[in-house]
Chain A
Amino acid sequence: MSSTSQKHKDFVAEPMGEKTVMALAGIGEVLGKRLEEKGFDKAYVVLGQFLVLKKDEELFRDWLKDTCGANVKQQGDCYGCLKEWCDAFL
């Protein structure tokens, strides 16, 4: 089992509702601000992007890197978080 942070567990435990982007695993204050500037102000908007990219890991990671400059670990955390959320609720 890969290690999942508390943030990941909290996010995956319930429907995301109106949670902000900072609630996503791997997305902290800095990255969250950058995403908000680009227009991705809520977690569900990032979810939308994730789904439009057909939940493809590589594409989503690239997009995340280009949009907010996330490093490899942050990309992985965010992808894993959204993927698990989709498996549970979508």
Chain B
Amino acid sequence: MPFEEDPAYLSKSRLKSDLVAHNVALPPAASKKEIYVELHLKHIDQRNAADFSSDEEDLVPDVADREEDPDHTEIPDPRTLTDDELKAALLHHGVKAGPIVGTTRAVYEKKLKKLLQPDESGKVNGAEKAVVYSDSEEEEEEEVEEEEQKADGEEEVEESVCTESEKQTAEQTDLAKQESSQAKLPYQNGSFPYLQCFMPSSRLHARPTSNRESKSKWNSRNAVKSSERSRSRCKEIPVGISRASSVDQHSGLGSGPPQEPMKDIIKEIFPETGTTPTGIHATRRRPIKGAAQRPVQYGYPATPVSPATLERREMERRRVPIRIQILVFLIMACILYFIYVNLEDICVVLLDSLNQGFDSEDGYSLQAETEDTQVVSGQD
């Protein structure tokens, strides 16, 4: 209304419409104009007076407030957002979301809800997890997993929470970790000392893979502490071995489950070793030949020789050398040649000797034979 209108000058229907426009309850239909005027004056004119000067200014903040309210009071239910809007909202909070599919949508909605309630949930989670940590110290099985979750939980906390709560949780987990590490030592120190060195170092390797996003002070602190712990444990090993048997008896029950995987590994690597009470296996080293009071009594082979060469050497030993074989062959050849050339003379000599031997008895037959041979040789 550009100018004030005296309600008295307005018609009854006009007054009625005005009242309706301002959400004022209408009086009964058959009431007089005066009642309408009164109501009009009461409600509408008051409002007009208050808003008159600042009509346009009020509009803008009202609209702005209405737009901002949802964010503060989490009204834009992540469910009402489209996939793209949900993804954009998550990105706005620093979370790079994967594909928002039917099965993943619920998870991402939950995540967005969590991110939209940053301060309260951060502190509450920190307190809850602190409580969880103190309870879980007694349970040995969950220690490793709890510690891993602590670090993961702290990553989440770090991302979204202010520094004060960070420090608090960091201190709490530091204490918890130290206590749990001390609790672990007596169980594991005695029976499997050499594997202690591997445990923290493998966890060191696991750390970088899970801390892909937040490589902050906490990680370096963690790495330094765990490396220190591993060094201290490795130094304690020689001491621990001497106390092995007594510790083992006390901690036999408690150390059961975590020790099983280590036992399996040893058995895999060394399948033939028997079990000893202390769990330590040592193999005798081969004695040094000729060293202190260990004279060379046994015929150790000078050089390592394969079985094939050994066999070949044996064979060559028993075989007649080639030169000698050739020599014998030549000798035989000469003899045969000699016989072939001098066949006649040899026959004569042989027969003469035979004749002398059998002079008296078989003179004719021999002579006949000599005649035959002479005839034969003559024909040749």
Are B202 and A1 within 8 A (Cβ)?
A: yes
Are B106 and A66 within 8 A (Cβ)?
A: yes
Is A90 close to B, CB under 8 A? no
B contact patch SS? helix
Are B99 and A3 within 8 A (Cβ)?
A: no
A66 to B110, CA, bound (A): 10
Are B198 and A73 within 8 A (Cβ)?
A: no
Are B99 and A52 within 8 A (Cβ)?
A: yes
Are A52 and B101 within 8 A (Cβ)?
A: yes
By a CB distance below 8 angstroms, the chain B residues around A66 are 106-107, 110
Known: A52-B98, A52-B99, A54-B98. A3 touches B107 (CB 8 A): no
Q: Report the count of interface residues on A (CB-CB < 8 A).
A: 18
CB < 8 Å A-B pair total: 53
Are A49 and B142 within 8 A (Cβ)?
A: no
**Which among B25-33, B145-153, B309-317 touches the partner chain?**
B145-153
Is B243 close to A, CB under 8 A? no
B140 to chain A, nearest CB (A): 10
By a CB distance below 8 angstroms, the chain B residues around A58 are 152, 156
A10 to chain B, nearest CB (A): 13
By a CB distance below 8 angstroms, the chain A residues around B152 are 57-58
B158 to chain A, nearest CB (A): 13
A contact patch SS? helix
By a CB distance below 8 angstroms, the chain A residues around B145 are 2, 72-73, 76
Are B142 and A3 within 8 A (Cβ)?
A: no
Within 8 A of A (CB), among B145-172: 145, 148-149, 152, 156
Is B59 close to A, CB under 8 A? no
A73 to B99, CA, bound (A): 27
A54 to B99, CA, bound (A): 9
Are A63 and B107 within 8 A (Cβ)?
A: yes
By a CB distance below 8 angstroms, the chain A residues around B98 are 52-54, 56
Are B103 and A63 within 8 A (Cβ)?
A: yes
B137 to chain A, nearest CB (A): 16
Are B104 and A2 within 8 A (Cβ)?
A: no
Is B111 close to A, CB under 8 A? yes
B259 to chain A, nearest CB (A): 10
A49 to B106, CA, bound (A): 13
Cβ-neighbour of A3 out of B108, B110, B149, B258 (below 8 A): B258
Known: A3-B261, A62-B110, A73-B145. A52 touches B199 (CB 8 A): no
Across the interface, name the chain A residue whose C-beta is closest to B106.
Answer: A66
A6 to chain B, nearest CB (A): 9
Interface-central residue, B107, B145, B206, by most chain A CB under 10 Å: B107
Are A76 and B110 within 8 A (Cβ)?
A: no
A58 to B103, CA, bound (A): 15
By a CB distance below 8 angstroms, the chain B residues around A63 are 103-104, 106-107
A-B contact pairs, 22 of them (CB 8 A): A1-B198, A1-B261, A2-B145, A3-B144, A3-B257, A3-B258, A3-B261, A49-B103, A52-B99, A52-B101, A52-B103, A52-B104, A53-B104, A54-B98, A57-B152, A57-B210, A59-B107, A59-B111, A62-B111, A63-B104, A72-B145, A76-B148
- Give me the 4 closest cross-chain CB pairs, A-B, nearest first: A54-B98, A1-B202, A63-B107, A2-B144
